Amino acid sequence: MTAIECKDLWLSYGSASVIEGLSFSLESGKCLCIAGENGTGKSTLIKALLGLKEASRGEIVFFGGEKKHGIGYLPQRSDAQSDFPASVWEVVLSGKLNNGRRLPFYTKKDKEEAEKKLELLDIFRLKDKSFAELSGGQQQRVLLARALCAATQLILLDEPVAGLDPTATSEFYKIIHRLKDEGITVIMVSHDIHCALAVADKLLILRNDGYSFTDAAPHEHDHEGGCKI
């Protein structure tokens, strides 16, 4: 099944076009890496995918017609996130609040799903730890687990390995492989194209004069400061 399809998508701010005529599709359970220089529209496209920005022309279709679909979102890391005063369990479980729920409490099903996400990302042992005391790589896993609690089939990652050391970066990419094996579709914005190609199936490069959308060529990338999966 096609997870997402952009059809002749035009995005703009005021009268200035940022993205013009963007068309691509991505199958379920695949990973798309989005790259490009600053100012080429990556942030604008993210907002459109999240439903925070309306297209001036064209459309984005999710799963064959569901234009509004729950997307798990992992934003870029920030110091504010690192100092978040809560336990790992509280952070992950709070992802269930992103589903537009009206109940003032978490259900048994919510808690069971949160536990499954902790196990999937191999951080169940950190459940009772303080989020602020974790390493950068561990915090990214926790925030990813939170995003997965909000997602059903699709997750968007914005520079997920920025600031992580090579070991944590490699481990994070292994997790993305695991998500794909679970049938979750991944869209990842990254400047680290060489390493991202180790998990990506498709590559979308945005430019000031257009874009290119191609098959990626997954490979091991191993050099000083790089990653190896």
Q: What is the CATH number of the domain that holds 38?
A: 3.40.50.300
Q: Kindly state whether residue 139 falls inside one of the protein's structural domains.
A: yes
Q: Kindly state whether residue 11 falls inside one of the protein's structural domains.
A: no
Q: Kindly state whether residue 184 falls inside one of the protein's structural domains.
A: yes
Q: Is 89 helix (H, G, I), strand (E, B) or coil?
A: helix
25 CB contacts (<8 Å, ≥6 apart)? 2, 4, 5, 6
191 CB contacts (<8 Å, ≥6 apart)? 35, 159, 162
How much is the pLDDT for 223? 38
CA distance linking residue 209 with residue 229, whole number of Å: 34
How much is the pLDDT for 218? 54
Residue 92: what are its φ and ψ, rounded to 5°? -65, -45
Q: Kindly state whether residue 164 falls inside one of the protein's structural domains.
A: yes
How much is the pLDDT for 225? 41
202 lies in which domain range? 29-46+65-215
How much is the pLDDT for 220? 45
Q: Kindly state whether residue 120 falls inside one of the protein's structural domains.
A: yes
How much is the pLDDT for 67? 52
Phi/psi-derived region of residue 225, left when phi > 0, alpha when psi is between -120 and 50, beta in every other case: left
Q: What is the mean pLDDT of each run of 10 residues along the chain (229 residues)?
A: 94 87 96 92 92 92 73 80 83 81 76 94 95 92 92 89 87 91 93 79 93 77 45
> How many domains are contained in the chain?
1
CA distance linking residue 187 with residue 5, whole number of Å: 12
pTM for the model = 0.86
